[in-house]
Amino acid sequence: MSRIVNRFLIATIFFSAPVLLAGPETYDTSKEAPPPTITQSEPWHLTIAIPGWLASTNGTIGVRGVDADIDVPVTEVLQHLDLMLAARVEAQKGPFGIYSELIYIGLSDVAQINGLINNIHETMDLFYVDGGLSWRLINQPRWSLDLAAGTHYTNIYEQLELHSGPVAIQQASERFVNNIADDLRSRLDQDISNSEFLEALKSTIKADIINRIGNALDRHESRPDIPIGPLGGRIREEIAQRVEHFIELKKAELRARIDALVERGLDRRAAVDRVVNEAKARIANQLAVRLNKRLSQTIARDDYFFDPYVGLRGRYNFNKTFYTAVRGEIGGFGVGADLMWQVEAAVGINLTRSIFTEVGYRALGVDYENDGLLFDAIMHGPQITTGITF
């Protein structure tokens, strides 16, 4: 909850400036804008709009060196959409303008894995806040052109909940311990070297544990249904290391018991067998507990960055009712993302003197890589905006 509150506090800071600066004056569309100078007599024009952006996402999202190919159409986004919030505020006084925009998209997905991991629950929150200043370079009776400069704030929160399959884990643990029992006996009785034992152990871990986590997890995370990075991409490696470490500890405990034996020859071999057989069930149960804990966890990361940008905004009035508007921005410059760009084009209609609607297309591209996160993606799709001007 505190994470969401913090994000909206940032949005409030961006949004407060246009609202506080603008006064209550009424906007008169019948009058042409004055030349590019600011005087005390010029009123503030305040616009509040709600953009509905139906965006698909294409690109690559990576976490800790494991990448996922993202190709999520808007139909998938709508199926997994939990919440969408959007608002745009602009204030204009003569040639000077100040603006802010907020877009929040909350997505989630549940996938059945049916292995040692039974199912997973993914959550992704995308939070964009845009704020900047504009200056009217050209102001003609039918068209205008503005220079804009601002900052684009991006926050990406990703969460993966793993839910284990206890029955499958117990069966896999018992099978695994049975399969390493002979090598464990031989190692404790000094019949095989430690390097041979470790190689056999790693091979058995891969065959009995790692593969049973399920290729379904890899397939899902490499081509997810929502634009989320592969947070579980390293889970197999981590499990393998933990199992290997666990067996090494158990081997050391058994080693101490074996060293205390006084038997020699065949009697010693029989004694080693008894020690290992007595420990098998206990080791399998302890391993199952550790796997259940490790495979029932939540993995999350929260990344954010700021991208300064510059851009142009243009508008052409066909008549008093219909118009077209375009804008383009480029930024990042290595401050946050290596590259951030955005383009938008729309056709608008003035429904009344103060209410308008726009239908257009919008695309936002981000190429960001830092601290284990790769986010190289383009969000694009149609946008319908409705607003009111005061």
Are 18 and 158 within one domain? Answer: yes
Higher local confidence (pLDDT), 17 or 374: 374
Are 47 and 153 within one domain? Answer: yes
The share of the chain scoring above pLDDT 70, in percent, equals 88
Domain boundary among 294, 323, 343: 294
CATH of the domain at 113: 2.40.128.100
User: Which of 346, 364, 365, 341 shows the shortest CA–CA distance to 356?
Assistant: 346
Say if pTM beats, i.e. exceeds, 0.75. Answer: yes
Are 77 and 212 within one domain? Answer: no
Domain boundary among 235, 269, 294: 294
Count Cβ neighbours within 10 Å for each residue of 35-51 and write b for 16 or more, e otherwise: eeeeeeebbbbbbbbeb
* N residues, the chain: 390
Residue 272 dihedral angles phi and psi, to the nearest 5°: -60, -45
Are 194 and 287 within one domain? Answer: yes
pLDDT in tens, 20-55: 555 444 444 444 455 455 555 689 999 999 999 999
**Is the pLDDT assigned to residue 11 strictly greater than 60?**
no
Are 81 and 100 within one domain? Answer: yes
Q: What mean pLDDT do residues 342-367 have?
A: 98
Are 233 and 351 within one domain? Answer: no
Q: What mean pLDDT do residues 304-312 have?
A: 98
Are 82 and 41 within one domain? Answer: yes
Total number of domains in the chain:
2
Domain boundary among 294, 324, 355: 294
Note down the domain range covering 150: 2-163+298-389
pLDDT of residue 28: 46
Among the ranges given (11-20, 310-319, 371-380), the one the predictor scored with the smallest mean pLDDT: 11-20
**Is the pLDDT assigned to residue 188 strictly greater than 80?**
no
What is the chain's mean pLDDT, rounded?
Answer: 89
Are 151 and 170 within one domain? Answer: no
Q: Which two tokens stand for residue 289?
A: 């507990």
pLDDT of residue 177: 93
Cβ neighbours of residue 276 closer than 8 Å, sequence gap 6 or more: 181, 184, 185, 188, 254
Q: What mean pLDDT do residues 172-189 have?
A: 87
Are 128 and 227 within one domain? Answer: no
pLDDT in tens, 372-382: 999 999 999 99
DSSP H helices in the chain: 2-21, 74-79, 166-188, 194-205, 215-222, 235-259, 265-294
Among the ranges given (29-33, 164-168, 216-220, 365-369), the one the predictor scored with the smallest mean pLDDT: 29-33
pLDDT in tens, 102-130: 999 999 999 998 889 999 999 999 999 99
Are 346 and 368 within one domain? Answer: yes
Are 302 and 286 within one domain? Answer: no
pLDDT of residue 257: 79
Are 310 and 256 within one domain? Answer: no
Q: Which two tokens stand for residue 253?
A: 């405990």
DSSP H helices in 66-165: 74-79
Residue 144, helix vs strand vs coil: strand
